Structure 1
């Protein structure tokens, strides 16, 4: 986590606690300031060192918030925030993971029932105490009982988007240590799963103790959990980072083994056994002439182990990209030389789902387009929210506002170095219709149809989205399940049917690359592609910085065996427009 992120998170906590206390206006101010602090290109810590006036140059950071940032940077805490924490000693993160429970509800629950934890919340609901609170009732209580288990489970794993920056920071730090010969992350984070348990780092070195000592001394480590001769665990940004140091000749085998998944490794191990080989974290060993192959981990003649490619070669297989290692056919495909030629991050040529300050973004059309051009994109789509249900704060655009925005987009297009498309993110209503009139949609370059409301029931959900796909104006089905990872489960959909409808109607299914969404996920992507449909990888960016999230979408699509040709925004601007106009 960068210092800007850290400071932004503190401001967001401030906002939550203020909202829980019933304070008006200030929570919104703190959240908007937090967004701009997080996105600010310069280190905010440095600006704080220059004083409050320097911080006030950041949009939405006024004198009061600037003074608190300075206080935090200089002392490591904010007195007013500490007072709020004492007044509201609640596990805000855990409690607000319960669908429908926001900071204000947390404040009321604490004030009325003294609830501070998930366990206490569940117990109060089971005892029928929540329904007795004015303004709550039996439905609120039922919602709590239904969603507490999901919230509790969400605590067990962290979002990939929270963990990957920590992993990248650890890799960058260790790569500069003289004792490190090779290094890589492994485990579920290397497979780009949407959630992870711990950050696992593997290092090859001849000086294991020096590497362990280096991790313990890592400036971003908040605490040392354990440290041995070839292993160490530290806590960084709330995440456990586990280090394992191995011999150079065993690095490839260890990388394959610790990347997993468990089911993939079992399939690989069985293939080795069929060939008189043994594969484990120490290498691949020929045990065909060994009486007892299980007599030790390194029994037999080592035939591979230094590189991961060598491990797969020894088993007569192509190297398998980590995203595919889930035992869903990749072992057979690797043995038969029919693995997909997976999409690469650099293949994406533009973003088709972004927001500006016309709806709930904080940056102008021109600023977002400029950021896209700086990324080397060929095109960029402006797709602010349409008015309709499920849009927080009522920031959606009506027909007149969309017409006005079209003129603004046209003006930016004339000055831009890349193609600029004008579209909208329309809302899929409960019946599968759209919140915006068809004649308005027909004038736009691109229409994304996304569910934002009615996400609590799976009944008829697939039919609802199929009807949206069949709308003549729709080009992309946006974040189809509506899930928020560790926040809400989203709709349960039949993606075979979604894919069939999308293929028939010429509609792309979105992989929303926002790390809180990653929707559709890899399994859904594979079903959609196998049905003959295409996908779009979009960031849903509300700021220039969020355009960087595209990598999460690419790797999610790779988990679905996606190739470049499966993705509409890997195409040229002319090819993309042909798809949209078909």
Structure 2
């Protein structure tokens, strides 16, 4: 099983600890390397076995980082990281989950107050000790205190973007076993929730012992193993496998996918029809005195397949992404389930970055990456200057016009349509950080919030949506999963403004964002707004993240016609007013 996520986590920690000690430049290099390894399609241990030159094939990885990658794969440790931990013995990953506490702040609080973990940080804030430290104040202290509960909660959830690739690799291995008839994810992972508690996997087999033995041979720490259940810890993630007999595959898959609220409604619908639903199937209990007695009472009428489970309740199959008790049962009963957008429906991406700002590939490289995916079009939307830009990297107004010309020249030799563009910052007052006359020269303008990402952002975002040159509202909340909650806002107001202004609302498919979230997408679609699924890719390999955005769109009940970039190039150009 790939160790890409584990290696990337170590490099991210290296970056944080180097930054905490005042080292310049290196932290950014380590973070870029971590991002590239995390998104790389080849298992990092395979490259490490081949040597330094193979590891260096990954973008932005040189000799020094490649050596550290190999050191970790070979020994399970990085000597320099161990030394940095000894130099600054704090739980830097936990502390920096608190909004507003970066690596340097964490180091300052350790030096001044001996803060080593979240408990220490909370105690210091409650005692009023932080505001007494030079450079801090009462407001900062209160903000830290307010952010600690979120930091604690986020630690208990894993990003879908980390859990899903691990699950995919595990499923591929299980499906190769002769003893396995079927295998799939379950739980919140199968419903594509943005964060998950653990990785739930289900397998159908009439030889559970053989499957469990094969499962526990995978890389990872065995937590427990029985005859039909086993758990591993792989790269910090808990993986739970349950093996069921083949004839109960459908019922187990439906039951363990959830959600709990969805299953309660399903169970009550069954009871109204004299049926009982559980993980073993659907049973006719109309002639049974006590249908709750035992688990297999009455005649079994469904359960071999998941489709049969819903058919027994006079329902069509309900896609896993919809199973959150948000009206999907009534919609199914009334023949009103949406025909959800699918991964293959996307025909382009309208939010991409190059090395003109903070991307890691040239304009030509990003165009080629989109062409390799079979896309019909893309938009180059490098960051403008403004607050919130990572490392202060951004393109000023004059350079944006020069960049647009570069894009047009590169597009002249491309087999797909290339739109010029920009990702501008939305100020606290709703202003857009690029002059109107410059925006007017570009094809596709994405406006996104990057700073002051707390409180109510409704007025600010509505103002940006209504700007006559803005085509797309990018990652509207500005959230970073498990790191910051982002803006609150009135989705109904924003969606209504988007409809009037013909502004698309973005689902940012980066697994650290998945913004808009599914519930907001559903509200936007009900208001008649147009959704766009973008990757915000900073390198060609990140275009593969589109699937996370598509499944988020599906969680919001989005159909193909709801999504801008399922249209052809002419349709997108028409939307952009070209």
Give the TM bin, normalised by the shorter chain.
over 0.9
Matched residue, 1:533: 529
Is contact 2:401–2:441 with CA below 8 Å preserved after alignment?
Answer: no
Matched residue, 1:136: 136
Q: Give the Å deviation of 1:564.
A: 0.2
Which sits farther off after the overlay, 288-297 or 2-11? 2-11
**Superposed counterparts of 1:36-47, under 5 Å:** 36-38=36-38, 45=45
Taking a change above 3 Å as real, the CA distance of residues 47 and 293 of structure 1, as seen in their structure-2 partners, is closer
Matched residue, 1:216: 216
Structure 1: distance between partners of 2:502 and 2:58: 43
- TM-score under structure 2 length normalisation: 0.97
Matched residue, 1:524: 520
Q: Deviations over 1:299-323 (max 9, x none)?
A: 0000001100001001100000001
Q: Give the Å deviation of 1:116.
A: 1.5
Is contact 2:445–2:469 with CA below 8 Å preserved after alignment?
Answer: yes
Q: Runs of 5+ in structure 1 lacking a partner?
A: none
Q: Give the Å deviation of 1:44.
A: 5.2
Matched residue, 1:511: 507
Q: Give the Å deviation of 1:370.
A: 0.3
SS at match of 1:463: helix
**Superposed counterparts of 1:25-424, under 5 Å:** 25-38=25-38, 45=45, 48-49=48-49, 51-52=51-52, 60-219=60-219, 222-424=220-422
Q: Deviations over 1:268-322 (max 9, x none)?
A: 1111111111111110000111122122100000000110000100110000000
Which sits farther off after the overlay, 39-48 or 270-279? 39-48
Q: Deviations over 1:60-111 (max 9, x none)?
A: 4444334333433433322222121222222222111101111111122222
Matched residue, 1:17: 17
Structure 1: distance between partners of 2:237 and 2:3: 16
Structure 2: distance between partners of 1:54 and 1:205: 39
Is contact 1:173–1:218 with CA below 8 Å preserved after alignment?
Answer: no
Q: Deviations over 1:12-70 (max 9, x none)?
A: 22121111222233323333343444556766545545555665565544443343334
Structure 1: distance between partners of 2:189 and 2:36: 28
User: Does 2:568 correspond to 1:578?
Assistant: no
Matched residue, 2:464: 468
Q: How many residues align?
A: 578
CA RMSD of superposed structures (Å): 1.7
Structure 1: distance between partners of 2:423 and 2:450: 10
Which sits farther off after the overlay, 179-188 or 66-75? 66-75
SS at match of 1:105: helix
Residue number among 546, 549, 573 corresponding to 1:550 in the alignment: 546
Taking a change above 3 Å as real, the CA distance of residues 208 and 409 of structure 1, as seen in their structure-2 partners, is same
Is contact 1:39–1:543 with CA below 8 Å preserved after alignment?
Answer: no
Structure 2: distance between partners of 1:253 and 1:422: 50
SS at match of 1:353: strand
